[in-house]
Amino acid sequence: MNGTLIPDHREAVLAELNASIDSFFLEGGSVQTLPGSQYVPHRPRRELEPVRAPAEPPVSKRVAKRLEHLAAIRALAQTMTYAQAMAHTGLSQSALVRAAAAGKFKFQPDPNWGKGNQGKKLSDPAEDRAKAEQIVAYRNVGMTRADVVRELQISFKQLSRLLRDFDISFPTTAEKRATRQA
Identify the three-state secondary structure at position 20: helix
Q: Are 105 and 96 in contact (CB under 8 A)?
A: no
pLDDT tens profile 119-163: 777 788 899 999 999 999 999 998 999 999 999 999 999 999 999
Model confidence at 175, pLDDT cuts 50, 70, 90, reads confident
Annotated domain spans of the chain: 61-103, 125-181
Tell me the Ramachandran region of residue 53: left when phi exceeds 0, alpha when psi lies from -120 to 50, beta otherwise: beta
